[in-house]
Amino acid sequence: MNAESIRELREKLRILERETGGLFESRDECCGLTSSQCHTVLELAKTGTISLAELADALGLDASTLSRTVQGLVILGLVLRATSGKDRRRVELGLTEQGRSVVGQIETMNNGFFDQVLAEIPADRHPAVIEGLALLVDAVKRVNDRTGCCRPESGS
């Protein structure tokens, strides 16, 4: 790829990050949760019951770092820790009823925002935008997996 295309991609991503970065940064936009807590409950809503290690992997975080985030969510009554019925050594995480309610509020707010965003783009271009983002996300994940870039160090 030529240098101009790389520069343009980087610039557009910086602008996108700047414009959308507030989605989870503002406590008002994420029902009073921190950005990390917000991402955690949204991932739990998507995956259902999951171990801490699996959740850390899904979020691309170190398990010890995520453990502190999860503990805060347990204290808030949004996440439940339970010993697995199949393996007593395995601790599973899941959302409480209150946690599912908070996720619903977050989803409603974000859906409203992105409904407005998509309204600014011609409807016939929506699939291209979504496909382009999916291609970009998948490519970034593959490079990160291959190079170890942008991932936390183990045991830190």
DSSP assignment letter at 60:
T
User: How far from 137 is each of 25, 42, 49, 50, 61, CA to CA, in Å?
Assistant: 21, 18, 25, 23, 17
Tokens representing 62 are 């170190």
Q: Domains in the chain, start-ordered, CATH in brackets?
A: 3-120 (1.10.10.10)
- CA atoms of 38 and 36, how far apart (whole Å): 5
pLDDT of residue 22: 61
∠ CA(101), CA(20), CA(117), 5° rounding? Answer: 85
- How does pLDDT run along the chain (156 residues), one tens digit per residue? 799 999 999 998 888 887 877 665 654 557 788 888 999 999 999 998 999 999 999 998 889 989 999 999 999 999 999 887 777 778 899 999 999 999 999 999 889 988 999 999 999 999 999 999 999 999 988 998 888 766 554 443
